[in-house]
Amino acid sequence: MASGETQTASEYIQHHLTNLTFGLHPENGLSFAHGAAEAKDMGFMAIHVDSMFWAILLGSIFCWVFYSAAQRASAGVPSGLQNFVEMIVEFVDNSVRDAFHRENVFVACLALTIFVWVFLMNLMDLVPVDFLPELAMALGIEYQKVVPTTDVNVTLGMSLSVFLLIIYTSIKSKGFGGFVGELTLQPFGKWFIPFNFFLEFVGLVAKPISLALRLFGNLYAGELIFILIALLPWFIQPVLSVPWAIFHILVIVLQAFIFMTLTIVYLSMAEESH
Residues in the chain: 274
**Residue 1: predicted pLDDT:** 41
Task: Count other C-beta atoms under 10 Å from residue 33's C-beta.
Answer: 24
Task: Count other C-beta atoms under 10 Å from residue 48's C-beta.
Answer: 24
Least confident of 3-7, 82-86, 177-181: 3-7
Q: How many Å apart are CA 241 and CA 237, to the nearest integer?
A: 6
Q: 12 pLDDT exceeds 80?
A: yes
pLDDT per residue as tens digits for the range 82-134: 888 999 999 999 999 888 877 888 999 999 999 999 999 999 999 999 999 99
Which pTM does this prediction carry? 0.91
**Residue 235: predicted pLDDT:** 87
**Is 83 known to be catalytic?**
no
From the list 214, 241, 268, 273, the catalytic residue is 214
**Is 97 known to be catalytic?**
no
From the list 68, 79, 83, 210, the catalytic residue is 210
**Is 102 known to be catalytic?**
no
From the list 95, 122, 218, 241, the catalytic residue is 218
Q: 254 pLDDT exceeds 90?
A: yes
pLDDT band at 74, cuts 50/70/90? confident
**Residue type present at position 160:** L
Closest to 263 (Cα-Cα) out of 189, 207, 205, 180:
207
Contact 16, 145 (CB under 8 A): yes
